[in-house]
Amino acid sequence: MTARRTTARATPSTASLDALLGLLHWNEQGLIPTVVQDATSKRVLTLCYLTREALERSLREGKVYVFRRSQNRLMLKGETSGHIQLIREVQVDCEGKSLLILVKQHVAGCHAGYFSCYYRQLSRRGTMRTIERRVFDPNAVYTSTKH
């Protein structure tokens, strides 16, 4: 199956935004799962959820906004750390049930200090091992905030 591609612009036209929104199927909570991938390395950075408002704002500003389910609020990815994600491309899966956003990642995409949230790997023996180096110290970045 091939994903439908939509190139994101900082200020999409109303017609192109309406066309994209018309393709999408939101879940019962009004969310759509979204994979965020680094446009250069192709490394998957995270899986997050977007509301319609988060998607519209992301496309309008060219930066990824997500819906933090744990805090029940919209937030700019990297709003605390400054490690923002600039949108390069948006793709829609064949059924309109998920998105893939390719980004230019500033510093790191993971609040634990790694470039990707997928920095751990299950070995054949069933043990977990870290496969990336930390690129920043989360204790220095998130001094008094929950992440």
CATH number of the domain residue 59 falls in: 3.10.20.810
| Burial of 99 (C-beta count, 10 Å sphere; 0-12/13-18/19+) | buried
As a whole number of Å, the end-to-end CA separation of the chain is 35
Q: Report the domain count for the chain.
A: 1
Q: How many CA atoms lie within 13 A of 104 on its CB side?
A: 5
Query: Is 44 contained in some domain?
Result: yes
Whether the pLDDT of residue 15 is over 80: the answer is: no
Is the whole-model pTM more than 0.95? no
CA 77 to mean position of chain CA atoms: 7
Query: Is 39 contained in some domain?
Result: yes
- What confidence tens digit (pLDDT) does each residue in 21-62 have? 889 999 999 999 999 999 999 999 999 999 999 999 999 999
Query: Is 84 contained in some domain?
Result: yes
Q: Which domain holds residue 38?
A: 4-112
Query: Is 120 contained in some domain?
Result: no
Strands (E), the chain: 4-6, 32-38, 44-50, 65-68, 73-76, 85-92, 99-105, 120-122, 128-130
Whether the pLDDT of residue 8 is over 80: the answer is: no
Query: Is 102 contained in some domain?
Result: yes
Residue 125 DSSP one-character state:
T
**38 vs 56, 64, 142, 144, CA distance in Å?**
20, 12, 23, 28
Query: Is 38 contained in some domain?
Result: yes
Query: Is 129 contained in some domain?
Result: no
Sequence-ordered alpha helix ranges (H) in the chain = 14-23, 52-61, 138-141
Mean pLDDT (whole number) for 7-29: 78
Q: Under a CB-based contact definition with an 8 Å cutoff, are residues 142 and 80 in contact?
A: yes
Query: Is 121 contained in some domain?
Result: no
The crossing angle, in degrees rounded to 10, of helices 14-23 and 52-61 is 140
| pLDDT reported for residue 11 | 59
